Amino acid sequence: NAGVTQTPKFQVLKTGQSMTLQCAQDMNHNSMYWYRQDPGMGLRLIYYSASEGTTDKGEVPNGYNVSRLNKREFSLRLESAAPSQTSVYFCASREEGWISPLHFGNGTRLTVT
Amino acid sequence: AQKITQTQPGMFVQEKEAVTLDCTYDTSDQSYGLFWYKQPSSGEMIFLIYQGSYDEQNATEGRYSLNFQKARKSANLVISASQLGDSAMYFCAMREGVGSGTYKYIFGTGTRLKVLA
């Protein structure tokens, strides 16, 4: 029972490089989310997807793009990485229901030098 | 705009004692949900407990309970009989509706709890 799987676990990029963070869930959830966590700032929503084929901006979308490839997968792309994007990135999903919690992946620690 | 506030950046508690972690929220929605998550030093996010805005009883899950005071817009987490393994960062979160059955979740800045032996 894998839940939400994120790859890679760690990544170091140089300024200007691009990369894609992968996220997949095996719980048949419609809704998926990308957050970033920075010290003292909690988790901030980057993008979310209510269902396959739809994506919406969250609180801090600048510098990121997302793709909801299918119901299972929701990827986050940094086209031109900047040091300000150094952070821990979490993917999450939720099942349908009035009150249901987010299920998180284990995170990707990204450093941009 | 919806907002979650956690005013305690860090707290200490003696092992076996109870501790309350504060969370206040701001929303204009009538229907909302409040959640608490634990993040140990290993980094994963662990769901602990939730409370729906229409629930009259405070939620409980083992040693965790949620002290929900709707009029004061507070949703404090109470941990009874603290254990060393409770040392972690704790986040309060609120579900925010954005229409058509779609929801976002906003998080507070967290409280770091240290349990002392």
* pLDDT per residue of chain B (117 residues) written in tens, 0 to 9: 789 999 999 999 999 999 999 999 999 888 899 999 999 999 999 999 999 998 888 999 999 999 999 999 999 999 999 999 999 999 999 998 777 777 889 999 999 999 999
Q: What is the pLDDT of residue A109?
A: 97
CB contact under 8 A, B109 and A40: yes
Q: What is the pLDDT of residue B97?
A: 76
Shortest Cα distance from A99 to chain B (angstroms)? 6
A90 phi/psi in degrees, rounded to 5: -120, 135
Q: Residue A7: is it exposed, middle or buried by C-beta count within 10 angstroms (0-12/13-18/19+)?
A: middle
Chain A residues inside the 8 Å CB shell of B37: 104
Q: What is the token pair recorded at A31? A: 């809704």
Q: Is residue A103 within 8 angstroms of chain B, CB to CB?
A: yes
Chain A residues inside the 8 Å CB shell of B107: 35, 42-44
Report the residue of chain B nearest A91, measured CA to CA: B45
Task: For residue A43, give the nearest of B100, B101, B107 by CB distance.
Answer: B107
Instruction: Enumerate residue ranges in chain A where pLDDT < 70.
Output: 1
- Residue of A38, A49, A63, A53 lying closest to A93 (CA atoms): A49
Q: What is the pLDDT of residue A45?
A: 96
Chain A / chain B CB contacts < 8 angstroms = 61
Chain B residues inside the 8 Å CB shell of A99: 33, 50, 52, 95
Shortest Cα distance from A61 to chain B (angstroms)? 14
Task: For residue A106, give the nearest of B9, B43, B91 by CB distance.
Answer: B43
Answer yes or no: are the C-beta atoms of B49 and B100 closer than 8 Å.
no
Residue located via tokens 């929701």 = A74
Q: What is the pLDDT of residue A1?
A: 66
